[in-house]
Structure 1
Amino acid sequence: MSDTPQENALLPEALRFQSPAPLVDIGANLTHESFGRDLEATLERAQAANVTALIVTGADLEGARHAAALAERHAPLYATAGVHPHHASAWNAEMEAAMLELQRQPRVVAVGECGLDFNRNFSAPRDQERAFEAQLALAVESGLPLFLHERDAGKRMLEMLREWRDHLSDAVVHCFTGERKTLHGYLDLDLHIGQTGWLCDERRGHHLREFVADIPADRLMVETDCPYLLPRNLPAKLKGRRHEPALLPWIVKELAHWRGESEAELARRTTQTARRFFRLDNVPDTGRPGSAPTGGASA
Protein backbone atom coordinates (compact mmCIF):
# COMPACT_ATOMS: atom_id res chain seq x y z
CA MET A 1 0.00 0.00 0.00
CA SER A 2 1.33 3.43 -0.87
CA ASP A 3 1.83 6.38 1.44
CA THR A 4 -0.15 9.31 0.04
CA PRO A 5 -1.40 12.59 1.54
CA GLN A 6 -4.98 11.34 1.28
CA GLU A 7 -4.19 8.17 3.23
CA ASN A 8 -2.55 10.15 6.03
CA ALA A 9 -5.15 12.92 6.10
CA LEU A 10 -6.15 12.22 9.71
CA LEU A 11 -2.60 12.05 11.05
CA PRO A 12 -0.40 15.11 11.63
CA GLU A 13 3.11 14.82 10.25
CA ALA A 14 4.50 14.29 13.77
CA LEU A 15 2.32 11.17 14.19
CA ARG A 16 3.27 9.43 10.95
CA PHE A 17 5.50 6.84 12.53
CA GLN A 18 7.18 3.89 10.84
CA SER A 19 8.35 0.88 12.78
CA PRO A 20 11.89 -0.34 12.01
CA ALA A 21 10.47 -3.87 11.69
CA PRO A 22 7.00 -5.21 10.79
CA LEU A 23 4.50 -5.16 13.66
CA VAL A 24 1.43 -7.19 14.58
CA ASP A 25 -1.33 -5.32 16.40
CA ILE A 26 -2.87 -8.15 18.42
CA GLY A 27 -5.91 -6.14 19.59
CA ALA A 28 -7.68 -3.74 17.23
CA ASN A 29 -11.41 -3.04 17.66
CA LEU A 30 -11.92 -2.26 13.99
CA THR A 31 -15.61 -3.22 14.19
CA HIS A 32 -16.17 -0.03 16.19
CA GLU A 33 -18.49 2.40 14.44
CA SER A 34 -15.76 5.07 14.32
CA PHE A 35 -13.96 3.02 11.63
CA GLY A 36 -17.08 2.57 9.51
CA ARG A 37 -16.29 5.38 7.09
CA ASP A 38 -12.54 5.10 6.69
CA LEU A 39 -11.43 1.52 7.32
CA GLU A 40 -9.55 1.32 4.02
CA ALA A 41 -7.64 4.53 4.80
CA THR A 42 -6.99 3.27 8.34
CA LEU A 43 -5.41 0.12 6.94
CA GLU A 44 -3.38 2.19 4.48
CA ARG A 45 -2.00 4.27 7.36
CA ALA A 46 -1.23 1.12 9.31
CA GLN A 47 0.71 -0.32 6.36
CA ALA A 48 2.63 2.94 5.98
CA ALA A 49 3.60 2.64 9.67
CA ASN A 50 4.80 -0.97 9.03
CA VAL A 51 1.92 -2.49 10.99
CA THR A 52 1.44 -5.39 8.63
CA ALA A 53 -0.98 -7.73 10.44
CA LEU A 54 -3.88 -6.94 12.76
CA ILE A 55 -6.07 -9.14 14.95
CA VAL A 56 -9.61 -7.74 15.02
CA THR A 57 -11.27 -8.32 18.37
CA GLY A 58 -14.66 -10.02 18.52
CA ALA A 59 -16.19 -9.35 21.95
CA ASP A 60 -19.83 -10.39 21.43
CA LEU A 61 -21.65 -12.44 18.84
CA GLU A 62 -22.42 -9.56 16.49
CA GLY A 63 -18.91 -8.16 16.85
CA ALA A 64 -17.28 -11.54 16.30
CA ARG A 65 -19.26 -12.10 13.12
CA HIS A 66 -18.30 -8.62 11.93
CA ALA A 67 -14.62 -9.22 12.80
CA ALA A 68 -14.59 -12.52 10.91
CA ALA A 69 -16.18 -10.88 7.88
CA LEU A 70 -13.59 -8.08 7.89
CA ALA A 71 -10.81 -10.67 8.06
CA GLU A 72 -12.23 -12.40 5.01
CA ARG A 73 -12.29 -9.15 3.03
CA HIS A 74 -8.95 -7.59 3.99
CA ALA A 75 -5.64 -9.41 3.66
CA PRO A 76 -3.84 -7.97 6.73
CA LEU A 77 -6.73 -8.83 9.08
CA TYR A 78 -7.44 -11.84 11.29
CA ALA A 79 -10.16 -12.17 13.94
CA THR A 80 -11.00 -13.46 17.39
CA ALA A 81 -14.42 -14.74 18.44
CA GLY A 82 -15.68 -14.65 22.00
CA VAL A 83 -17.83 -12.93 24.60
CA HIS A 84 -16.36 -10.19 26.78
CA PRO A 85 -17.22 -10.44 30.49
CA HIS A 86 -19.32 -7.26 30.15
CA HIS A 87 -21.69 -9.29 27.92
CA ALA A 88 -21.46 -12.56 29.85
CA SER A 89 -25.07 -12.47 31.07
CA ALA A 90 -26.16 -13.06 27.45
CA TRP A 91 -24.29 -16.39 27.22
CA ASN A 92 -26.53 -19.34 26.36
CA ALA A 93 -26.48 -22.58 24.40
CA GLU A 94 -27.35 -20.89 21.10
CA MET A 95 -24.50 -18.40 21.51
CA GLU A 96 -22.11 -21.21 22.37
CA ALA A 97 -23.01 -23.05 19.17
CA ALA A 98 -22.61 -19.86 17.12
CA MET A 99 -19.19 -19.18 18.65
CA LEU A 100 -18.05 -22.71 17.94
CA GLU A 101 -19.05 -22.28 14.31
CA LEU A 102 -17.15 -18.97 14.06
CA GLN A 103 -14.06 -20.44 15.69
CA ARG A 104 -13.89 -23.05 12.94
CA GLN A 105 -13.38 -20.37 10.30
CA PRO A 106 -9.75 -20.29 9.08
CA ARG A 107 -9.20 -16.57 9.70
CA VAL A 108 -10.53 -16.73 13.27
CA VAL A 109 -7.31 -17.30 15.18
CA ALA A 110 -8.29 -17.14 18.86
CA VAL A 111 -11.11 -17.72 21.34
CA GLY A 112 -12.07 -14.47 23.03
CA GLU A 113 -12.15 -11.73 24.06
CA CYS A 114 -13.21 -13.53 27.23
CA GLY A 115 -12.37 -13.50 30.90
CA LEU A 116 -13.36 -11.66 34.06
CA ASP A 117 -13.94 -7.98 34.84
CA PHE A 118 -14.84 -7.21 38.46
CA ASN A 119 -14.15 -3.49 38.01
CA ARG A 120 -17.60 -2.51 36.78
CA ASN A 121 -19.50 -5.81 36.87
CA PHE A 122 -21.71 -5.04 33.89
CA SER A 123 -22.51 -8.75 34.16
CA ALA A 124 -22.73 -10.41 37.56
CA PRO A 125 -19.54 -12.24 38.62
CA ARG A 126 -21.35 -15.59 38.61
CA ASP A 127 -22.44 -15.00 34.99
CA GLN A 128 -18.92 -13.95 34.05
CA GLU A 129 -17.48 -17.13 35.52
CA ARG A 130 -20.11 -19.27 33.77
CA ALA A 131 -19.40 -17.72 30.35
CA PHE A 132 -15.64 -17.85 30.90
CA GLU A 133 -15.73 -21.52 31.89
CA ALA A 134 -17.73 -22.34 28.76
CA GLN A 135 -15.22 -20.50 26.57
CA LEU A 136 -12.31 -22.24 28.22
CA ALA A 137 -13.98 -25.49 27.16
CA LEU A 138 -14.36 -24.17 23.61
CA ALA A 139 -10.64 -23.34 23.52
CA VAL A 140 -9.81 -26.88 24.61
CA GLU A 141 -12.11 -28.31 21.94
CA SER A 142 -10.76 -26.13 19.13
CA GLY A 143 -7.13 -26.03 20.19
CA LEU A 144 -7.11 -22.29 19.50
CA PRO A 145 -5.23 -19.89 21.77
CA LEU A 146 -7.17 -17.70 24.20
CA PHE A 147 -7.45 -13.91 24.02
CA LEU A 148 -8.12 -12.94 27.63
CA HIS A 149 -9.50 -9.87 29.38
CA GLU A 150 -9.00 -9.31 33.11
CA ARG A 151 -9.55 -6.26 35.26
CA ASP A 152 -9.59 -6.27 39.07
CA ALA A 153 -10.13 -10.03 38.95
CA GLY A 154 -6.61 -11.43 38.93
CA LYS A 155 -7.01 -13.76 41.90
CA ARG A 156 -10.11 -15.48 40.54
CA MET A 157 -8.78 -15.52 36.98
CA LEU A 158 -5.63 -17.29 38.13
CA GLU A 159 -7.66 -19.83 40.10
CA MET A 160 -9.77 -20.71 37.08
CA LEU A 161 -6.85 -20.80 34.66
CA ARG A 162 -4.84 -23.10 36.92
CA GLU A 163 -7.64 -25.67 36.70
CA TRP A 164 -7.62 -25.57 32.89
CA ARG A 165 -4.03 -24.76 31.98
CA ASP A 166 -2.85 -28.29 31.23
CA HIS A 167 -5.62 -28.66 28.62
CA LEU A 168 -5.18 -25.30 26.87
CA SER A 169 -2.76 -24.46 24.08
CA ASP A 170 -1.70 -20.82 24.53
CA ALA A 171 -3.27 -17.77 26.15
CA VAL A 172 -2.54 -14.05 26.21
CA VAL A 173 -3.77 -11.59 28.83
CA HIS A 174 -4.39 -8.69 26.51
CA CYS A 175 -4.00 -5.08 27.69
CA PHE A 176 -2.45 -6.12 31.00
CA THR A 177 -2.76 -3.26 33.51
CA GLY A 178 -2.47 -5.07 36.85
CA GLU A 179 0.19 -5.33 39.52
CA ARG A 180 3.52 -7.14 39.54
CA LYS A 181 2.22 -10.05 41.65
CA THR A 182 -0.61 -10.73 39.21
CA LEU A 183 1.75 -10.47 36.24
CA HIS A 184 4.06 -13.08 37.74
CA GLY A 185 1.08 -15.32 38.44
CA TYR A 186 0.25 -15.28 34.73
CA LEU A 187 3.87 -15.80 33.74
CA ASP A 188 4.06 -18.79 36.10
CA LEU A 189 1.23 -20.32 34.04
CA ASP A 190 3.26 -19.75 30.86
CA LEU A 191 0.83 -17.11 29.60
CA HIS A 192 1.62 -14.31 27.18
CA ILE A 193 1.12 -10.62 27.97
CA GLY A 194 -0.21 -7.83 25.74
CA GLN A 195 0.83 -4.21 26.28
CA THR A 196 -0.98 -1.08 25.08
CA GLY A 197 -0.81 2.70 25.33
CA TRP A 198 -1.83 2.38 29.00
CA LEU A 199 1.93 2.46 29.59
CA CYS A 200 1.95 5.99 28.11
CA ASP A 201 -0.54 7.33 30.66
CA GLU A 202 1.16 9.21 33.49
CA ARG A 203 -2.04 9.11 35.58
CA ARG A 204 -2.56 5.37 35.79
CA GLY A 205 0.05 3.51 33.75
CA HIS A 206 3.25 4.64 35.44
CA HIS A 207 3.33 1.59 37.74
CA LEU A 208 3.76 -0.68 34.69
CA ARG A 209 7.05 1.01 33.86
CA GLU A 210 8.56 -0.51 36.99
CA PHE A 211 8.11 -4.13 35.90
CA VAL A 212 7.41 -4.42 32.16
CA ALA A 213 11.01 -5.61 31.85
CA ASP A 214 9.97 -8.69 33.87
CA ILE A 215 8.03 -10.02 30.87
CA PRO A 216 10.21 -12.48 28.91
CA ALA A 217 10.81 -11.36 25.33
CA ASP A 218 9.10 -14.46 23.93
CA ARG A 219 5.92 -13.84 25.96
CA LEU A 220 5.38 -10.17 25.10
CA MET A 221 3.07 -8.82 22.39
CA VAL A 222 1.87 -5.32 21.51
CA GLU A 223 -1.51 -3.83 20.67
CA THR A 224 -3.41 -0.58 20.34
CA ASP A 225 -6.84 -1.71 21.63
CA CYS A 226 -8.02 1.05 19.28
CA PRO A 227 -10.10 3.16 19.15
CA TYR A 228 -9.54 3.15 22.92
CA LEU A 229 -6.42 3.91 24.97
CA LEU A 230 -4.93 6.65 22.80
CA PRO A 231 -1.42 7.30 24.23
CA ARG A 232 -1.49 10.50 26.31
CA ASN A 233 2.12 11.42 25.56
CA LEU A 234 1.95 11.60 21.76
CA PRO A 235 4.12 14.38 20.27
CA ALA A 236 1.12 16.05 18.58
CA LYS A 237 -2.63 16.38 19.11
CA LEU A 238 -4.89 14.05 17.15
CA LYS A 239 -8.18 15.45 15.89
CA GLY A 240 -11.07 13.46 17.29
CA ARG A 241 -8.73 11.54 19.64
CA ARG A 242 -9.51 8.19 18.02
CA HIS A 243 -6.68 5.70 18.48
CA GLU A 244 -5.67 3.65 15.43
CA PRO A 245 -3.15 0.95 14.41
CA ALA A 246 -0.78 3.42 12.71
CA LEU A 247 0.17 4.69 16.18
CA LEU A 248 1.41 1.28 17.38
CA PRO A 249 5.08 2.14 16.68
CA TRP A 250 4.84 4.88 19.32
CA ILE A 251 3.74 2.33 21.92
CA VAL A 252 6.60 0.03 20.89
CA LYS A 253 9.05 2.91 21.27
CA GLU A 254 7.76 3.69 24.77
CA LEU A 255 7.78 0.04 25.78
CA ALA A 256 11.32 -0.45 24.50
CA HIS A 257 12.47 2.56 26.54
CA TRP A 258 11.11 1.16 29.81
CA ARG A 259 12.44 -2.32 29.05
CA GLY A 260 15.89 -0.98 28.23
CA GLU A 261 16.10 -2.45 24.73
CA SER A 262 16.08 -1.22 21.16
CA GLU A 263 12.86 -0.40 19.37
CA ALA A 264 13.92 -2.53 16.40
CA GLU A 265 14.62 -5.59 18.54
CA LEU A 266 11.35 -5.24 20.44
CA ALA A 267 9.43 -4.87 17.18
CA ARG A 268 11.11 -7.94 15.72
CA ARG A 269 10.60 -10.13 18.78
CA THR A 270 6.96 -9.18 19.46
CA THR A 271 6.05 -9.83 15.84
CA GLN A 272 7.83 -13.16 15.86
CA THR A 273 5.94 -14.08 19.05
CA ALA A 274 2.56 -12.91 17.72
CA ARG A 275 2.90 -14.78 14.42
CA ARG A 276 3.79 -17.95 16.29
CA PHE A 277 1.11 -17.51 18.99
CA PHE A 278 -1.75 -16.91 16.53
CA ARG A 279 -0.25 -19.33 13.95
CA LEU A 280 -0.60 -16.69 11.27
CA ASP A 281 1.71 -18.41 8.83
CA ASN A 282 -0.64 -21.41 8.82
CA VAL A 283 -3.72 -19.39 7.84
CA PRO A 284 -4.55 -20.06 4.18
CA ASP A 285 -4.52 -17.14 1.77
CA THR A 286 -8.03 -17.03 0.36
CA GLY A 287 -6.90 -15.11 -2.71
CA ARG A 288 -8.85 -11.97 -1.79
CA PRO A 289 -8.17 -8.87 -3.89
CA GLY A 290 -5.28 -6.96 -2.38
CA SER A 291 -3.76 -9.96 -0.65
CA ALA A 292 -0.20 -9.16 0.19
CA PRO A 293 2.64 -10.47 2.34
CA THR A 294 2.13 -9.60 5.99
CA GLY A 295 5.73 -9.42 7.10
CA GLY A 296 6.23 -13.00 8.19
CA ALA A 297 9.54 -13.41 6.36
CA SER A 298 10.95 -10.33 8.07
CA ALA A 299 9.80 -11.22 11.57
Structure 2
Amino acid sequence: MIDIGTNLTHDSFDHDRDAVLARARAAGVTRMIVTGASREHSPQALELARAHPGVLYATAGVHPHHAVEYTAECDAEMRALHAHPEVVAVGECGLDYFRDFSPRPAQRRAFEMQLEIAIDTGKPLFLHQRDAHDDFVAIMKNVEGRIGAAVVHCFTGGRRELFEYLDRDWHIGITGWLCDERRGAHLRELVKNIPAERLMIETDAPYLLPRTLRPMPKDRRNEPAFLPHIAEELARDRGETFEQVAATTTATAQAFFALPETQAPA
Protein backbone atom coordinates (compact mmCIF):
# COMPACT_ATOMS: atom_id res chain seq x y z
CA MET A 1 0.00 0.00 0.00
CA ILE A 2 0.94 3.65 -0.45
CA ASP A 3 0.45 6.25 2.28
CA ILE A 4 -0.04 9.43 0.23
CA GLY A 5 0.35 11.83 3.15
CA THR A 6 2.61 11.37 6.15
CA ASN A 7 4.47 14.10 8.04
CA LEU A 8 7.63 12.10 8.68
CA THR A 9 9.67 15.28 9.18
CA HIS A 10 7.72 15.91 12.40
CA ASP A 11 9.97 15.99 15.46
CA SER A 12 7.95 13.23 17.15
CA PHE A 13 9.66 10.83 14.71
CA ASP A 14 13.20 12.07 15.38
CA HIS A 15 14.02 9.34 17.91
CA ASP A 16 12.68 6.32 15.99
CA ARG A 17 12.12 7.22 12.32
CA ASP A 18 13.89 4.09 11.03
CA ALA A 19 11.77 1.90 13.30
CA VAL A 20 8.63 3.68 12.04
CA LEU A 21 9.61 2.87 8.46
CA ALA A 22 10.33 -0.75 9.39
CA ARG A 23 6.92 -1.11 11.04
CA ALA A 24 5.26 0.40 7.98
CA ARG A 25 6.94 -2.09 5.67
CA ALA A 26 6.00 -4.97 7.97
CA ALA A 27 2.38 -3.79 7.78
CA GLY A 28 2.46 -3.75 3.98
CA VAL A 29 2.93 -0.01 3.53
CA THR A 30 5.82 -0.12 1.12
CA ARG A 31 5.80 3.45 -0.18
CA MET A 32 5.02 6.77 1.45
CA ILE A 33 4.73 10.37 0.29
CA VAL A 34 6.33 12.68 2.86
CA THR A 35 4.39 15.91 3.09
CA GLY A 36 6.33 19.13 2.67
CA ALA A 37 4.16 21.83 4.21
CA SER A 38 6.47 24.72 5.07
CA ARG A 39 9.66 26.48 4.09
CA GLU A 40 11.43 24.51 6.83
CA HIS A 41 9.93 21.07 6.29
CA SER A 42 9.77 20.84 2.48
CA PRO A 43 13.59 20.57 2.14
CA GLN A 44 13.56 18.03 4.97
CA ALA A 45 10.96 15.97 3.11
CA LEU A 46 13.21 15.89 0.05
CA GLU A 47 16.17 14.92 2.22
CA LEU A 48 14.23 11.97 3.64
CA ALA A 49 13.10 10.87 0.18
CA ARG A 50 16.67 10.94 -1.11
CA ALA A 51 17.82 8.89 1.88
CA HIS A 52 15.18 6.21 1.18
CA PRO A 53 14.97 5.91 -2.61
CA GLY A 54 12.02 3.97 -3.94
CA VAL A 55 10.36 3.93 -0.51
CA LEU A 56 9.87 7.62 0.32
CA TYR A 57 8.89 10.42 -2.03
CA ALA A 58 8.23 14.05 -1.15
CA THR A 59 5.92 16.94 -1.81
CA ALA A 60 7.13 20.54 -1.59
CA GLY A 61 4.88 23.40 -0.66
CA VAL A 62 3.64 25.78 1.99
CA HIS A 63 0.49 25.03 4.00
CA PRO A 64 -1.96 27.92 4.42
CA HIS A 65 -1.06 28.06 8.12
CA HIS A 66 2.41 29.25 6.99
CA ALA A 67 1.25 31.45 4.11
CA VAL A 68 2.88 34.58 5.53
CA GLU A 69 6.29 33.01 4.86
CA TYR A 70 5.54 32.69 1.13
CA THR A 71 7.79 35.44 -0.20
CA ALA A 72 9.48 35.68 -3.59
CA GLU A 73 12.52 34.03 -1.99
CA CYS A 74 10.33 31.22 -0.68
CA ASP A 75 8.85 30.75 -4.15
CA ALA A 76 12.34 30.40 -5.60
CA GLU A 77 13.20 27.83 -2.92
CA MET A 78 10.08 25.79 -3.72
CA ARG A 79 10.87 25.88 -7.43
CA ALA A 80 14.40 24.65 -6.72
CA LEU A 81 13.00 21.74 -4.72
CA HIS A 82 10.71 20.81 -7.59
CA ALA A 83 13.73 20.35 -9.84
CA HIS A 84 14.36 17.08 -7.99
CA PRO A 85 12.60 13.95 -9.27
CA GLU A 86 11.94 12.74 -5.71
CA VAL A 87 9.50 15.64 -5.29
CA VAL A 88 6.32 14.28 -6.86
CA ALA A 89 3.66 16.88 -6.06
CA VAL A 90 3.13 20.58 -5.37
CA GLY A 91 1.82 21.31 -1.88
CA GLU A 92 0.58 20.94 0.71
CA CYS A 93 -1.15 24.12 -0.36
CA GLY A 94 -4.62 25.60 -0.27
CA LEU A 95 -6.83 27.51 2.15
CA ASP A 96 -7.71 27.11 5.83
CA TYR A 97 -10.33 29.51 7.18
CA PHE A 98 -10.99 27.28 10.20
CA ARG A 99 -7.88 28.33 12.11
CA ASP A 100 -6.84 31.42 10.14
CA PHE A 101 -3.24 31.14 11.32
CA SER A 102 -2.32 33.34 8.35
CA PRO A 103 -4.43 36.25 7.07
CA ARG A 104 -6.80 35.16 4.31
CA PRO A 105 -5.30 37.46 1.62
CA ALA A 106 -1.87 35.93 2.35
CA GLN A 107 -3.36 32.44 2.11
CA ARG A 108 -4.91 33.18 -1.26
CA ARG A 109 -1.70 34.71 -2.61
CA ALA A 110 0.46 31.77 -1.47
CA PHE A 111 -2.04 29.34 -2.97
CA GLU A 112 -2.10 31.15 -6.31
CA MET A 113 1.70 31.25 -6.49
CA GLN A 114 1.95 27.53 -5.84
CA LEU A 115 -0.63 26.83 -8.53
CA GLU A 116 1.75 28.57 -10.92
CA ILE A 117 4.45 26.08 -9.91
CA ALA A 118 2.07 23.22 -10.72
CA ILE A 119 1.36 24.78 -14.11
CA ASP A 120 5.05 25.25 -14.85
CA THR A 121 6.17 21.80 -13.68
CA GLY A 122 3.17 19.72 -14.71
CA LYS A 123 3.22 18.04 -11.31
CA PRO A 124 0.02 17.06 -9.48
CA LEU A 125 -1.35 19.14 -6.63
CA PHE A 126 -1.58 18.06 -2.98
CA LEU A 127 -4.35 20.29 -1.66
CA HIS A 128 -5.67 21.44 1.71
CA GLN A 129 -9.10 22.98 2.24
CA ARG A 130 -10.92 23.63 5.49
CA ASP A 131 -13.92 25.93 5.87
CA ALA A 132 -12.91 27.75 2.68
CA HIS A 133 -14.66 25.75 -0.02
CA ASP A 134 -16.08 28.55 -2.16
CA ASP A 135 -12.87 30.60 -2.32
CA PHE A 136 -10.88 27.39 -2.86
CA VAL A 137 -12.97 26.34 -5.85
CA ALA A 138 -12.98 29.89 -7.27
CA ILE A 139 -9.17 30.03 -7.20
CA MET A 140 -8.89 26.59 -8.76
CA LYS A 141 -11.31 27.64 -11.52
CA ASN A 142 -8.86 30.36 -12.51
CA VAL A 143 -6.32 27.69 -13.52
CA GLU A 144 -8.75 25.21 -15.05
CA GLY A 145 -7.27 23.50 -18.07
CA ARG A 146 -3.73 24.49 -17.09
CA ILE A 147 -3.10 22.15 -14.15
CA GLY A 148 -2.80 18.39 -14.12
CA ALA A 149 -4.13 16.03 -11.47
CA ALA A 150 -5.15 17.25 -8.00
CA VAL A 151 -5.97 15.52 -4.73
CA VAL A 152 -7.92 17.11 -1.92
CA HIS A 153 -5.92 15.63 0.93
CA CYS A 154 -7.55 14.62 4.21
CA PHE A 155 -11.09 15.18 2.96
CA THR A 156 -13.43 16.06 5.84
CA GLY A 157 -16.17 17.96 4.03
CA GLY A 158 -19.78 17.26 3.18
CA ARG A 159 -21.72 16.03 0.18
CA ARG A 160 -21.64 19.34 -1.73
CA GLU A 161 -17.88 19.65 -1.42
CA LEU A 162 -17.28 16.03 -2.38
CA PHE A 163 -19.40 16.13 -5.51
CA GLU A 164 -17.99 19.47 -6.64
CA TYR A 165 -14.49 18.00 -6.36
CA LEU A 166 -15.45 14.80 -8.17
CA ASP A 167 -17.19 16.82 -10.89
CA ARG A 168 -13.81 18.47 -11.52
CA ASP A 169 -12.07 15.06 -11.69
CA TRP A 170 -10.04 15.73 -8.56
CA HIS A 171 -8.89 12.89 -6.35
CA ILE A 172 -9.87 12.43 -2.71
CA GLY A 173 -7.57 11.47 0.17
CA ILE A 174 -9.20 9.68 3.09
CA THR A 175 -7.56 9.58 6.54
CA GLY A 176 -8.40 8.27 9.99
CA TRP A 177 -10.93 11.12 10.25
CA LEU A 178 -13.25 8.43 8.88
CA CYS A 179 -12.83 6.59 12.20
CA ASP A 180 -13.81 9.55 14.37
CA GLU A 181 -17.39 9.04 15.56
CA ARG A 182 -17.51 12.64 16.80
CA ARG A 183 -16.51 14.44 13.60
CA GLY A 184 -16.22 11.93 10.77
CA ALA A 185 -19.36 9.79 10.95
CA HIS A 186 -20.81 11.49 7.84
CA LEU A 187 -17.88 10.18 5.79
CA ARG A 188 -19.01 6.58 6.33
CA GLU A 189 -21.81 7.11 3.80
CA LEU A 190 -20.04 9.62 1.54
CA VAL A 191 -17.04 7.41 0.73
CA LYS A 192 -19.33 5.04 -1.18
CA ASN A 193 -19.65 7.74 -3.85
CA ILE A 194 -15.92 8.08 -4.61
CA PRO A 195 -14.90 6.20 -7.78
CA ALA A 196 -12.03 3.79 -7.14
CA GLU A 197 -9.83 5.62 -9.65
CA ARG A 198 -10.26 8.84 -7.63
CA LEU A 199 -9.70 7.40 -4.14
CA MET A 200 -6.45 7.33 -2.15
CA ILE A 201 -5.63 6.71 1.52
CA GLU A 202 -3.30 8.40 3.96
CA THR A 203 -2.48 8.56 7.64
CA ASP A 204 -1.46 12.24 7.95
CA ALA A 205 0.81 10.88 10.69
CA PRO A 206 1.58 11.82 13.42
CA TYR A 207 -1.86 13.45 13.41
CA LEU A 208 -5.34 11.89 13.19
CA LEU A 209 -4.72 8.61 14.98
CA PRO A 210 -7.76 6.44 14.08
CA ARG A 211 -10.02 6.40 17.13
CA THR A 212 -11.13 2.85 16.35
CA LEU A 213 -7.59 1.46 16.44
CA ARG A 214 -7.03 -1.28 19.02
CA PRO A 215 -4.82 -1.41 20.92
CA MET A 216 -4.20 2.33 21.03
CA PRO A 217 -0.51 3.31 21.13
CA LYS A 218 0.35 4.77 24.51
CA ASP A 219 1.81 7.93 23.02
CA ARG A 220 -1.28 8.44 20.78
CA ARG A 221 1.00 9.09 17.82
CA ASN A 222 -0.24 8.05 14.41
CA GLU A 223 2.19 6.38 12.01
CA PRO A 224 2.13 4.83 8.50
CA ALA A 225 1.87 1.28 9.89
CA PHE A 226 -1.74 2.09 10.81
CA LEU A 227 -2.74 2.69 7.17
CA PRO A 228 -4.18 -0.84 6.82
CA HIS A 229 -6.62 -0.05 9.63
CA ILE A 230 -7.96 2.90 7.63
CA ALA A 231 -8.20 0.65 4.57
CA GLU A 232 -10.17 -1.93 6.55
CA GLU A 233 -12.66 0.68 7.79
CA LEU A 234 -12.98 2.15 4.31
CA ALA A 235 -13.55 -1.30 2.78
CA ARG A 236 -16.37 -2.01 5.20
CA ASP A 237 -18.04 1.33 4.48
CA ARG A 238 -17.76 0.83 0.71
CA GLY A 239 -18.93 -2.79 0.76
CA GLU A 240 -15.61 -3.99 -0.63
CA THR A 241 -12.90 -6.32 0.58
CA PHE A 242 -9.73 -5.06 2.21
CA GLU A 243 -7.78 -6.54 -0.71
CA GLN A 244 -9.86 -4.55 -3.20
CA VAL A 245 -9.30 -1.27 -1.38
CA ALA A 246 -5.58 -1.95 -0.91
CA ALA A 247 -5.13 -2.80 -4.60
CA THR A 248 -7.19 0.02 -6.09
CA THR A 249 -5.87 2.79 -3.84
CA THR A 250 -2.31 1.64 -4.52
CA ALA A 251 -2.84 1.63 -8.28
CA THR A 252 -4.50 5.05 -8.14
CA ALA A 253 -1.69 6.54 -6.05
CA GLN A 254 1.00 5.05 -8.27
CA ALA A 255 -0.60 6.58 -11.35
CA PHE A 256 -1.37 9.92 -9.68
CA PHE A 257 2.20 10.52 -8.46
CA ALA A 258 3.77 8.83 -11.52
CA LEU A 259 5.71 6.45 -9.29
CA PRO A 260 7.90 3.75 -10.84
CA GLU A 261 6.25 0.38 -11.43
CA THR A 262 8.83 -1.42 -9.35
CA GLN A 263 9.25 -0.89 -5.64
CA ALA A 264 12.51 -0.68 -3.75
CA PRO A 265 13.86 -4.02 -2.48
CA ALA A 266 13.22 -4.88 1.15
SS of equivalent to 1:225: coil
2:31 corresponding residue in structure 1:
53
Task: Indicate whether 1:218 and 2:171 are aligned.
Answer: no
- Asked whether the 8 Å contact 2:178–2:184 carries over to 1, the reply is yes
Q: Secondary structure at the match of 1:165?
A: coil
**Paired letter, 1:240:** D
TM (norm. structure 2) is 0.97
Look up the equivalent residue of 1:41 and give its one-letter code.
A
2:157 pairs with 1:161? no
SS in 2 for 1:113: strand
Partner of 1:17: none
| Residues 100-135 of structure 1 deviation map (CA, whole Å, 9 limit, x = unaligned) | 000110100000000000001000111100000000
Conservation of the 8 A alpha-carbon contact between 1:213 and 1:258: yes
CA contact (8 A) 2:39 2:69 kept: no
Report the identity percentage.
56
- Matched letter for residue 142 of structure 1: T
Partner of 2:259: 280
Q: Which amino acid aligns with 2:22?
A: E
Question: Larger C-alpha radius of gyration, 1 or 2?
Answer: 1
Please say if residues 165 and 189 of structure 1, whose CA atoms lie closer than 8 Å, have aligned partners that are also in contact. Answer: no
Q: Which residue, out of 126, 140, 153, partners 2:119?
A: 140
Give 2:186's aligned residue: 207
Give the equivalent residue in structure 2 for 1:34. 12
**Counterpart residue number, 1:292:** 264
Shift of 1:156: 1.1
Of residues 62, 66, 69 in structure 1, which corresponds to 2:40? 62
For structure 1, the 5+ residue unaligned runs are 1-22, 286-290, 295-299
Aligned counterparts, 1:72-87, within 5 A: 72-75=50-53, 76-87=55-66
Aligned-residue CA RMSD in angstroms? 1.2
Paired residue type of 2:135: R
Deviations 1:242-289 (A, max 9, x none): 00000000000001111111110111000000000000118xx9xxxx
User: So what's the TM-score if we normalise by structure 1?
Assistant: 0.87
Q: Which residue identity is paired with 1:244? A: E
Contact 1:51–1:248 under 8 Å retained in 2: yes
Report the residue type matching 2:176 in the other structure: G
- SS of 1:242 mapped into structure 2: coil
CA distance, structure 2, for counterparts of residue 237 and residue 193 of structure 1: 26
Deviation at 1:29, TM superposition (A): 0.2
